[in-house]
Amino acid sequence: MSARKSTPPSHPSKFSARKLAPTLRRDPESSALLRRSDTLRGPRRWLALWRFARSELRLMFGRRRNQAGLVVLALVPILLAVAVKLSPPSRGGGPTFLDQITENGLFVGFTSLTVELTLFLPLAMAMVSGDTIAGEAHVGTLRYLLTVPVSRPRILAVKYFALVVGAFIAVGTVVVLGAVVGSIIFGTGQMTTLSGTQIGLGAGIGRLAVALVYVALGMCALAAIGLFLSTLTEQPIAVTVALMVIVAAMWIVDAVPQLSFLRPWLLVDKWPAFADLMHDPPRWDQMIQGAWVDGAYIVVFLLAAWARFAGKDITS
């Protein structure tokens, strides 16, 4: 009786080459850069890390959905300015600074921040946060990335650096485009503050720049939460949904008077405090408290992400 030779069953490829192509093009270069960063010393090590970070940024901004998200962020200031231009004079109400837009176009930047702060900016950060660790695990490239002899915290640091850059670019797109479009449509000049006094154009631009940095810091804190969530799962959409649920829950709790004792601990509570910049003189107390809260969230969730990722068993 002849023994029948058994052949192992063939399994279809789990991932398509088309889906893997963008990441696989990046991985050989990234692996080499990471390997060199652990063996090099001094400036050459930082140069290798910078090249890896640059490849990470190319990957993040090369994704079509991230590009589409940036377009949505850019459309809001444009639509806002056009809507105000075509509408009859308002009698109050609406977002902060809305009534001042017709007096000075720079207020389009402030108003756009107010409009996008509750949904669009957090959603943008939730989308890119899900791609950092969970996204690579989902397409099967995270295991490949970890085969090089490099510390996981260093990979995590590069991932978070890309998120920080993404946060500043997202907020900067809203502010800069809002200021430019508003200046073209409504003009510039003296700005009337919320205190009723007037400040010069240079002072107004400076305060708008401070608002940009302050809101971007809040988005960096949100990105730290997203990075931690990304280490818990291999599904990037799960990270996006979970982070948006957290943001929505914080806004709800912040709006309930009976839960006011929780407000100092909520990440979103001090986000709108950048409006205090348009008092004369600016009121810094709420913004300083908000910056401390942002910093605390960044430290806590980056440490949590490091603790989780350092011992994570990559099986994807």
Q: Residue 191 forms beta bridges with which residues? A: 199
Per-domain boundaries in the chain = 23-310
Q: 86: how many CB neighbours lie within 10 A of its CB? A: 7
Mean pLDDT in each 10-residue stretch from start to end of the chain (316 residues)? 44 42 46 52 68 85 93 96 86 74 93 95 95 76 62 86 96 97 94 92 96 98 96 91 97 96 96 95 96 98 92 61
Give the pLDDT of residue 132. Answer: 86
Instruction: Give the pLDDT of residue 151.
Output: 72
At 39 the pLDDT is 52
pLDDT at 119: 95
Predicted TM-score of the model (pTM): 0.84
pLDDT at res. 312: 67
Compute φ and ψ for 150, nearest 5 degrees.
-140, 150
Nearest to 224 by CA among 120, 154, 295: 295
Three-state SS letters, 8-77: CCCCCCCCCHHHHHHHHHHHHHHHHHHHHHHHCCCHHHHHHHHHHHHHHHHHHHHCHHHHHHHHHHHHHH
> CB burial class (10 A; 0-12, 13-18, 19+) of residue 161?
middle
Residue 291 has which token pair?
């910056």
113-150: burial string, b at 16+ Cβ within 10 Å, e else: bbbbbbebbbbbbbbbbbbbbbbbbbbbbbebbbebeb
Are the CB atoms for 148 and 23 separated by under 8 Å?
Answer: no
- What pLDDT score does 21 carry? 42
